[in-house]
Chain A
Amino acid sequence: MTDREPLLEIIDLNKHFYVKGQQRPVRAVDGVSLELNRGETLSVVGESGCGKSTLARAALRIHEPTSGRVIFKGQDLLNLSRKRLRAKRKEMQFIFQDPYASLDTRWPVGSIVTEPLVIHGAGDYRSRQKKLHELLELVGLDPTAANRYPHEFSGGQRQRIGIARAVALEPDLIVADEPVSALDVSIQSQIINLLIRLKQDLSLAYIFITHDLAVVKHISDRVAVMYLGVIIEFAGVEELFSNPLHPYTQALISAIPRIDYRQSGRRIVLTGDVPDPSDPPSGCRFHPRCIHRMDICSQEQPQTLTLGSNGSWHTVNCHLYTDAINL
């Protein structure tokens, strides 16, 4: 692990939803620990319903977590009062998946982008207008966009508007929840490049939530793989893609349809669906779909095992691995 100062530390975070008429809670996020350094991109990958969005939302208290600790710049977010939390939110912003639903259709773009500045009382009207122009330029929109309405823009341009709004307060952390999956292929690459450029120019850290592993490989520094509310593997991006340890990660990586399919090797096709999170399988949650399943897998939940040293630091939750393995 690097010795840079962590920006965000998530320690044993839980988010359980209690559903009416059901005894057991849905354990959407179940004992997750992660950390993120300044200026770093952490991707959380997994299939739909695995809890990746809930994890990010619980960490920033959009959904109130059930238990755990979230240390952001040395301060535990979960102990903050509502008011203090709101002030803290300046430093962490969201970019959402659906550029059609995440902008108010009745507001001109100028008001949408400057709303965070108004809420947090940053500057007067004139300085906000100046900032607005800088922001629009920064994300590659024409200054005349300020007076137009969201419906006049394409999906890619709307996502740029959402990004301008997110960086308006100069945050340290941006949570990007599937920011490109609703966009066309040729527009996706424009937005990904914009996100990378902003990260460099504004020294942002991203929590990048996606199911698209090709994008993850391109944009991330570290990757956490999530399955049914649990992080099952966490490693640097090169390490994870060249040496995936968990059978689920291996299957995920092999399942990506590739253009260079001649070199892609053998595909592991998983059987079955992601189980119901309100009634997860006993032991390792992946065991009913796992090709390497052993007796112990259905009985005991695997512990998080840290492997490798500084260079190839890697954690995995799987019974296949014991401390004896050296990477």
Chain B
Amino acid sequence: MAEQKARPDSRAGPDNAEPLLSLKGLTMGFRTDEGSFIALEDVSYEVPKGQTVGLVGESGCGKSVSVMTAMRLLPSPPAFIRSGQVVFDGRDLLKLVPESMRHIRGNRIGMIFQEPMTSLNPTFSIGFQMREVLRIHRSLKRKEADELCTDMLAKTGIGAPAQRLKQYPHELSGGLRQRIMIAMALLCGPDLLIADEPTTALDVTIQAQILELLKELQQDLQMSILMITHDLGVVAESCRYVYVMYAGCVVESAEAERIFSEPGHPYTRGLINSRPRIAEKREWLKTIPGMVPGPDNRPPGCNYAERCERCTEQCRQEQPQFVQYDHKQAVACWNPYP
């Protein structure tokens, strides 16, 4: 194990590629009627140019909140940012005026959401919703816009794209809608695509299609992808580098291959072991006892201490520091697996 280093050194990407997006020590929370609480604690991660990075964790761990904050999509109040930076291509997004933020959102950073059912407006045609993106970010004639939309739909593998533009979301299946969301996110040729659980609502055969499609599009368009998911299988298949989040903190970051063969954090290991595997037969699944602590009752020490099999006295008292093993792996744990 290498010497201890401070957190911002946990650089993503095996070849230390230049980061396109980096969150640096982001701490934020929400003010509610019952008091305020911290949702993200000192969260740092990086997405290098042209690579796919995974952000994994269970519901409520803060993975979606971190990108919503980065994209400035959370209304304030109730959300507040205590400290940290979100650097995209050399600029801190948190400091931008709303006008310049709008030039980035949907233009240089595309987003796809989990629910293709609810993220399309049911009262407008697909064509209208796609052209809207171009109307805001590009000044194109209607005909040019239509051409670009059909091209992009065709690129995502949608048959009869010109007809699709006239259709409404309810006329299309879940897989088609997700393809349309992807096409829409890619219309302006973004440098970064944020995919928030892009395949969770879909069937496995459709999921395989969408993952394959994202892989192809990434190679064609040379973009970076931040893949948010709770499915470790999806990470294994699509990401080069992975960040694992638990209860508002990043607890481990590593190369995808490394994280599955030698997980350092007990939580990462617990997550991997609790999934049944096709290749082996076990009578009982390994479990992680207990539940994730809510944001309003996180312990003073490590958030995972209560559920951890390697918990020590120090874990209950003090928050663990990020330890850099080498450039391939970093773990926030007092007592990690070697």
Contacts and interface: CB of A to CB of B under 8 A. Distances in A.
A126 to B, nearest CB: 33
Nearest to B282: A218
B277 A193 contact: no
B278 A185 contact: no
A253 B277 CA distance: 12
Interface stretch (B147-155, B190-198, B206-214): B206-214
A185 B234 contact: no
B271 A257 contact: no
A251 B204 CA distance: 9
Interface in A97-141: none
B230 A259 contact: no
Contact of B278 (A48, A211, A256): A256
A48 B202 CA distance: 8
Interface residues of A, number: 40
A189 B274 contact: yes
Given A196-B283, A269-B212, A255 B276 contact: no
Contacts of B275: 185, 189, 214, 259
Interface string A71-98: 0000000000000000000000000000
A186 B271 contact: yes
Nearest to B175: A273
Contacts of B288: 186, 189-190
A253 B206 CA distance: 13
Contact of B232 (A193, A255, A259): A259
Contacts of A241: 278
A219 B277 CA distance: 11
Contacts of B174: 48
Given A190-B287, A274-B203, 8 more contacts: A189-B287, A214-B275, A217-B276, A218-B276, A258-B237, A269-B212, A270-B205, A271-B209
Interface of A: 47-48, 154, 156, 184-190, 192-193, 196, 211, 213-215, 217-219, 241, 251-261, 263, 267, 269-271, 273-274
20 contacts: A47-B205, A185-B275, A186-B274, A187-B291, A189-B276, A193-B284, A211-B203, A214-B276, A214-B277, A255-B207, A257-B211, A257-B236, A257-B237, A258-B277, A259-B275, A259-B277, A269-B205, A271-B209, A273-B175, A273-B206
